Amino acid sequence: MRKKPNVLLIFTDMQRADTIHALGNTTIRTPNLDRLVHEGTAFTSCYSPSPVCIPARCCMHYGLYPQKTGVFDNYNMPPDNGHSMPGILGRNDYFTAAIGKCHFTPDKAALRGFDSRQIQEECCSDPATDDYCRWLQENDLDFDEPHGTRGEMYYIPQISLHDAEHHPSRWVSDRSIDFINTRSNKDQPWMLFSSFIHPHPPFAPPKPWHKLYRSPLMPLPLTPKDSDSLLTWVNHHQNRYKYRDQGIDNQMLRNMKAYYYATISFVDFQIGRILAALEVKGELENTMVIFASDHGEYLGDFNCFGKRGMHDASSKVPLIIRYPHYFPADEICTHPVSLVDIMPTVTAVTGCDTDGIEMDGVDLTSIVSGASTREHVFSQFSQAESAIYMAVGNDFKYVYSARDNREFLFDRRLDPNDTRNLAGLCLVEKEKLKIKKILLEYLHSVEAKEAYTETGDGLDWRLYPPYDDSFLKNPDAGLIIQDHDFLVLNEPGYTRDF
């Protein structure tokens, strides 16, 4: 009798949906992700429930939208209630482990349902709290800012501090392979969360991978002539504090894309090594392999950088599932899905008891088969006057930014890159009002009262004071520093007064 399937969830950070060769990007090289596409089902309309790290991961971890988790930006998560994906699997006889970035807050070492963790988190140079930094220290290697120099260098492409053998992405794959080799000869099924920090900036591939793509040959970002009219307050805000709002340098943008792609290709190489380990152990066919990312990266599109926005560049993510028993090979599913669907899919395929556990997502096998009647998925960044809301259907995407008091409507069939806002066009007023109503009714159903008002005609958006962008007139206002000051500021002879 075949044992329950293993679950391998491979996760990257800040990887756009359009960065897989087999799904249409002719520039990037991703042979191992291409393999998953051809041997599995690719969901090409997967959206982040919140296009920023912690809330997106929290939503996936618990299978709930932000309105249920209470996490809308990179702030603290609520205490674990035992209803996480690894927690449920653990109660159903699985051994669960996480290797790499979890981004749990406020305790970054928390288990939150996992039986074991090997920690590698960004913004860490401390061997006492980070397993990767400790490993670097034990091997007499530099462990200060091991993922790349942030601060003013945050969006400057750079060569990794470490060679390929000691690169953070290699560390995750090495330990994932060790886990597979150790657990695969046991009767107990397992779930492994292999989580890579890259391609999150700084874009820092190791040598010689930094030359895999040559900058002069890279395509420029998507920048429609009226790009500024397509932006919300968060785009301007991020551009400022990421040091990217004082002019556009096309050569820098090409180099940025080259290094961003190189970090993805290096992760892809690690994925190939992990898949090979599964094959050697004879576990590949009995392992549900899931690949996804938490959110995207503007990468210069619309002259913007970072995440948090609802353009596809930021909010749309890759999702591929390889498990032939449930998901057809070489299948493309274009129906809108969400990261919140991963948990109900995993628990359904593994036969877990989820009685009494609330989940907003649906089992993706029902989407593939056509059994699901769900038509839209949702996303939200921030709350109240800073909130940006989104609903996505097969045909249209609707976005509302509270601080701007602006609506956006994009026709996904004719304008897949979100380059034309149709919200003010009377010819599609009926379609806009329909999807707007769906979004407002959803928010009403979860009692997100800061989002809407009840009028005689139904629900409408609550109005807030407009965004104060006066600080943008001072080019030095709003800049932030994200240094790891663990080493330099504690070295003998140095003080903070320099």
> In the chain, what are the domains?
6-370 (3.40.720.10), 380-468 (3.30.1120.10)
Residue appearing with tokens 């609330």: 358
Q: pLDDT at residue 257 above 70? A: yes
Q: pLDDT at residue 492 above 80? A: no
Residue 2: predicted pLDDT: 60
Residue 481: predicted pLDDT: 76
Strand 46-47 and strand 316-317: the pairing is antiparallel
Average pLDDT over residues 416-430: 97
Residue 494: predicted pLDDT: 34
Confidence label for 489 from pLDDT (cuts 50, 70 and 90): very low
Residue 484: predicted pLDDT: 57
| Alpha-carbon span 319 to 339, nearest angstrom | 8
Confidence label for 483 from pLDDT (cuts 50, 70 and 90): low
Residue 471: predicted pLDDT: 82
Q: What is the mean pLDDT of the chain?
A: 94
Average pLDDT over residues 26-54: 98
Residue 113: predicted pLDDT: 97
pLDDT-wise least confident of 5-19, 282-296, 458-472: 458-472
Residue 456: predicted pLDDT: 86
Q: Any bridge partners for residue 100, and if so which?
A: 119, 195
Average pLDDT over residues 22-38: 98
Confidence label for 150 from pLDDT (cuts 50, 70 and 90): confident
Percentage of residues of the chain with pLDDT beyond 70? 96
CB neighbour list of residue 402: distance below 8 Å, 6 or more residues apart:
384, 385, 386, 387, 388, 389, 451, 461, 462, 464
Confidence label for 123 from pLDDT (cuts 50, 70 and 90): confident
pTM (2 d.p.): 0.95
Residue 497: predicted pLDDT: 38
Residue 476: predicted pLDDT: 84
- Residue-wise pLDDT for 432-451, tens only, equals 999 999 999 999 999 999 99
Q: pLDDT at residue 156 above 90? A: yes
What is the C-alpha radius of gyration for the chain, rounded to an integer number of angstroms? 22
Structure tokens belonging to residue 255: 């180099």
Sheet holding 46-47, edge to edge: 316-317, 46-47, 337-338
Task: Specify the 3-state DSSP secondary structure of 10.
Answer: strand
Task: Specify the 3-state DSSP secondary structure of 291.
Answer: strand
320 with 290: CB under 8 angstroms?
A: yes
Q: pLDDT at residue 124 above 90? A: no
Which residues in 64-90 are b (16+ Cβ under 10 Å) and which e?
bbbbbbebbeeeebeebeebbbbbbbb
Q: Which amino acid is at 175?
A: R
Average pLDDT over residues 302-316: 97
Q: pLDDT at residue 298 above 80? A: yes
| Alpha-carbon span 470 to 475, nearest angstrom | 11
Q: pLDDT at residue 73 above 80? A: yes
Of 247, 298, 257, 272, nearest to 35 by C-alpha is 272
Tell me how far apart the 2 most distant CA atoms of the chain are, in Å: 69
- Compute the C-alpha angle 367/373/375, nearest 5°: 85
